[in-house]
Amino acid sequence: MSDGFLQLSRLTKRFGDHVAVDNLTLSVPRGAVLALLGPSGSGKTTTLRVLAGFERADAGTVTVDGRDVTRQAPAERHFGMVFQHYALFPHLTVGENVAFGLERDPAVDRTERVRDMLALVDLEGFAARSVSALSGGQQQRVAVARALAPSPRVLLLDEPLSNLDPSLRERTRRELKAALRKVGITTVFVTHEQEEAFALGDQVAVLNEGRLEQLGTAPDLYERPRTLFVATFVGRASVLPGVMTAPDRARLDAGVEWGVETPQPLERGARVSLVVRPEALVLAGEGLAATVTGCRYTGARAYFTAEAGGATVEFEAAVRATQVGDVVHLRPQRALAFAEASR
Ligand SMILES: Nc1ncnc2c1ncn2[C@@H]1O[C@H](COP(=O)(O)OP(=O)(O)OP(=O)(O)O)[C@@H](O)[C@H]1O
Ligand SMILES: [Mg+2]
């Protein structure tokens, strides 16, 4: 976790007695895209603002290429930023918006740079248009082009796709990904949507209440979550209460006993939350008894919901394998046990 091109070390930011960013250490290799994923209020925007220099860190450091920039003013850092609520200048044309950050740089040919940047985000020929005449997706790409025009050392993107409707969002996401790859710029990308984080991030950092829960690739986070928060925030999962009966076994409050994996060691007798993915909970001749309450078709397979001893579980099965109202028995192919949440 050290020696990244962009390195955050034990970064902390408080507002009054609220800790918005809590001792955050992260490293982003040169040219890589790090996605910061977390629910609303988890400190994503604050982290970006501290990185950009708009907020002053209470503790910790930010280094770029080995140099400490923690006390530098935003302009000295040469970072590009696209804000959560992107702000283009509505009275300027597309080209003038993209050229905005180039004002003070006499060395660049502005016309050429604007043309290159617009080509990069697939908006060739748009320079003379008024930004207010563009679609949301196009405006978003202009904002990215504007941030990239001065060749920043690091690009910071705060939910750049959140204002777009779903179909446009997916296309814009692909275009953004292609642009980032072409430029090869070190990027921190903030989102509260896991799909977006997985699609764009080489690595994903899951934040919860200002703290790093886990850093990993999409499969790492989905298959090997280290905390209950990550297990339930990333991907779908059923959560069932129980108690550990052996290092790798737990008895559910609903009665049955399951073999479990324990990402963190748990003592016998510990109260636990058991987490099972829908595709890992299968119909069986015996096991957890559950009453099917709902069905969501996804093609040949379906996601079923069921009630089991007061908990709601979700499992995947063939569409005709069962139906609402049936009592079924379920067995986990893989279950994870975490210490029960204290709240
Ligand atoms: N200027 C501020 N003054 C006081 N508290 C703030 C300030 N900015 C953020 N906070 C608080 O810090 C916490 C983190 O906020 P932040 O905006 O970083 O969250 P976020 O993860 O970006 O959320 P969202 O997904 O809603 O954008 C929140 O509890 C927020 O209320
Ligand atoms: Mg935010």
Q: Delimit the domains of the chain by residue range.
A: 6-224, 236-339
pLDDT in tens, 232-286: 999 999 999 999 999 999 999 999 999 999 999 999 999 999 999 999 999 999 9
Q: Which CATH superfamily is domain 6-224 in?
A: P-loop containing nucleotide triphosphate hydrolases (3.40.50.300)
Select from 247, 307, 314 the least CA-distant residue to 275: 314
pLDDT at 253: 94
Q: Which atom of ligand 1 is nearest to the CA of 49?
A: 18
pLDDT in tens, 65-87: 999 999 999 999 999 999 877 67
Indicate the angle between helix axes 136-148 and 110-120, nearest 10 degrees. Answer: 130
pLDDT in tens, 197-228: 999 999 999 999 999 999 999 999 999 999 99
Distance CA 89, CA 98 (A): 10
How many C-alpha atoms does 173 have within 13 Å on its Cβ side? 22
Enter the pTM of the model: 0.91
Q: Which residues line ligand 1 (CB under 6 A)?
A: 15, 18, 20, 38, 40-46, 84, 192
Distance 166 CA to ligand 2 centre (A): 19
Of the residues 11, 46, 194, which should be mutated to test ligand 1's pocket, given the most ligand atoms within 8 Å of the CB?
A: 46
